[in-house]
């Protein structure tokens, strides 16, 4: 695969427009539609586009560590949320956005989710069997 074809693959994922991807990759605008059509039929290019899509998808999914970090920050009250506050005076009301710490309810929910994640709330039952039953097959096959 040429560097220009690789660039085409990267550009194609931006808007899934083959002609525009070809132009952005450096092909002539006069032949971009034909080149795009040819490129998209090539198995090597199809595989490269598929590979790039999978990488992009994987990078957009939060990891377990990211989820735990976010829940920890929420539990500690380190996260803020934006709320709209409406004020009125002299018959005129104005709205403004204010940042405030997340609510105690949200912090508690984050703590609960972290506790579940670390199995802090599970009841562990210890079952001990002293006399193990023995099953004897004494039925005739008649």
Q: What is the pLDDT of residues 71-100, one digit of tens each?
A: 999 999 899 999 898 888 888 888 889 999
Residue 32 pLDDT exceeds 90: yes
Find how far residue 128's CA is from the centre of its chain. Answer: 43
78 in any annotated domain: yes
**Single residue among 42, 60, 78 that ends a domain in this structure:** 60
- Per the CB < 8 A criterion, the answer to whether 102 and 77 are in contact is yes
pLDDT band at 141 (very low <50, low <70, confident <90, very high): low
- Supply the range of the domain harboring residue 77: 66-118
In this prediction, residue 50 carries a pLDDT of 94
The whole-angstrom distance between residue 4's C-alpha and the CA centroid of its chain comes to 31
What's the CATH number where 56 sits? 1.10.10.1400
Q: Report the number of distinct structural domains present in the chain.
A: 2
Query: What is the C-alpha separation between 80 and 120, in angstroms, rounded?
Result: 27
């Amino acid at each position: 695969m040429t560097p220009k074809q690789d660039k085409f693959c990267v550009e194609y994922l931006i808007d899934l427009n083959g002609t525009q991807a070809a132009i952005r990759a450096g092909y002539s605008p006069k032949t971009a539609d034909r080149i795009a059509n040819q490129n998209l039929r090539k198995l090597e290019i199809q595989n490269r586009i598929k590979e790039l899509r999978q990488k992009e998808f994987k990078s957009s999914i939060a990891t377990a560590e990211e989820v735990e970090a976010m829940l920890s920050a929420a539990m500690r009250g380190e996260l803020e949320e934006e709320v709209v506050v409406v004020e009125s005076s002299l018959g005129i009301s104005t709205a403004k956005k204010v940042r405030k710490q997340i609510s105690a309810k949200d912090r508690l929910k984050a703590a609960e989710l972290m506790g579940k994640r670390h199995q802090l709330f599970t009841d562990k039952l210890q079952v001990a069997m002293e006399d193990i039953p023995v099953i004897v097959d004494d039925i005739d096959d008649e």
